Amino acid sequence: MIGGILPKKIIQKYDSPLYVYDSEMIQEKCRILKKNFPKINFFYACKANTNPEILRLIKKQGVGIETVSPGEISVAKKVGVPVSKITFTCGSISEEELIWVAKQKIRIHLDSLRQVEIFGKHFPGEEISVRLNQGIGAGHHSHVITGGQESKFGINLADVGKLEKLAKKYNLRIIGLHQHIGSNILDVSIFMKAVNVLCNTAMNFPDLKHLDFGGGFGIPYKPEEKKFDIELLGKKVMARISAFTKEYGHSLEISFEPGRYLVAESGSLLVTVNDIKHNLTKIFIGVDSGFNHLIRPVMYDSYHEIINTNKNRKRKGKVTVVGNICESGDIFAKDRRIYFPEYGDILLIKNVGAYGYVMSSNYNSRHRPREILILNKKLKVV
């Protein structure tokens, strides 16, 4: 069941393959964060899933939107998110893009000395927020570690002196510090190490108004993985912020940027078995989707649990679930134990609400699947 509806009924109505999202799960995740982090602001890292209906759901829960491109800013505005609830984290962006974003009057986290200089030339005397790389990085794959010496992100702590000179040159006030260490982190101690370091660094900046600790809250993809202890993290963060406030002398706005945590578990990819092949060592289960629809397994070697939704299948065994793309790497799961499917069975690929459809493509000139939102046990094409 997804949101109280049988996958078979969803496929019968909208055909296969399909992305299906459970709205109640997204709303519940928002409530959990707000309960465990009182008086802390959250900005959903919408690169995880930019579907407008999902952004509307998150907005209604009082969560802001963190963006990384003009396109994401436009989507956030179209669904009614006020500029006060939108932030922008710079990557390797052009001067023209930076100027355009600055004119939107949203909070910008500048990512490099070059960006600080560009901003200062065009907007002297303004307040700025900067992203720091404090040498701490973590994540489920090397491609998603966004802190440390191997990371392209942020201003290195060794360059803080240069940052301060640029700020003085253009009469800029550094009123915000930002960091983001990586994605899908399940270890509370790693988060707290990063929180502690940013709090310590903040003591060297006298004019701060906000600290943004980034995102990276993880979810368990494998059945044996433990859930991220969000309650424990909340208690530790609130205690650390309380101590920091006393030391700093006044309270600051504190923010986090969860992405995957809010949406990943809400999403399922429903696919249909089209082919079954036996060779000397493997059983290949061919489905009507591929890495053009879900690229995480081939890009990150990511694990996604796969369930045969046909409850009549009683025998389990190892199979390799493959897609319909003309590439040998088009594999959803290798040697995975599931209930042996037959032609026409619907397989459910779990936890695809983040970095699923949003990273999909029309490779092999195949269409992207529809996205369906389950809201109040009703189906909506989104």
Tens digits of residue pLDDT in 226-281: 999 999 999 999 999 999 999 999 999 999 999 999 999 999 999 999 999 999 89
> What is the pLDDT at residue 91?
85
The proportion of the chain whose per-residue pLDDT surpasses 90, expressed as a percent, equals 88
Indicate if the pLDDT at residue 40 is higher than 60. Answer: yes
User: What CA–CA distances, in Å, run from 273 to 122, 284, 342, 348, 369?
Assistant: 57, 10, 7, 11, 16
Q: Over the range 15-42, which residues count as b (16 or more CB within 10 Å of their CB) and which as e? A: ebbbbbbbbebbbebbeebbebbeebbb
Residue 358 contacts by C-beta under 8 Å, 6 or more apart in sequence? 47, 48, 49, 50, 51
> What is the pLDDT at residue 136?
63
Strand 155-156 vs strand 173-178: parallel, antiparallel, or unpaired? unpaired
CATH of 264-381, one of 3.40.980.10, 3.40.50.360, 2.40.37.10, 3.40.50.300: 2.40.37.10
- The helix/strand/coil state of 104 is coil
Indicate if the pLDDT at residue 139 is higher than 50. Answer: no
- Beta-bridge partners for 68: none
Is 199 annotated as catalytic?
A: no
pLDDT bracket for residue 152 (50, 70, 90): low
> What is the pLDDT at residue 149?
56
pLDDT digits (tens, 9 = 90+) for 12-34: 999 999 999 999 999 999 999 99
> What is the pLDDT at residue 83?
96
Do the beta carbons of residue 240 and residue 284 sit within 8 Å? no
CATH superfamily of 23-262: Alanine racemase (3.20.20.10)
Residue range(s) in the chain whose domain bears CATH number 2.40.37.10: 264-381
pLDDT digits (tens, 9 = 90+) for 178-234: 998 877 889 899 889 889 999 999 999 999 999 999 999 999 999 999 999 999 999
**Structure-token pair, residue 228:** 């991220």
Helices 95-102 and 70-78: angle between axes, nearest 10 degrees? 20
Higher pLDDT, 57 or 134: 57
pLDDT digits (tens, 9 = 90+) for 42-91: 999 999 999 999 999 999 999 999 999 999 999 999 999 999 999 999 88
> What is the pLDDT at residue 138?
44
Indicate if the pLDDT at residue 144 is higher than 90. Answer: no
Work out the average pLDDT over 345-373. 98
Average pLDDT, the chain: 93
Measured between alpha carbons, how far is 100 from 119 in angstroms, rounded to an integer? Answer: 11
Q: What is the DSSP letter of 364?
A: G
pLDDT digits (tens, 9 = 90+) for 314-354: 999 999 999 999 999 999 999 999 999 999 999 999 999 99
Do the beta carbons of residue 341 and residue 277 sit within 8 Å? no
Work out the average pLDDT over 141-168. 72
Residue 379 contacts by C-beta under 8 Å, 6 or more apart in sequence? 5, 10, 13, 14, 372, 373
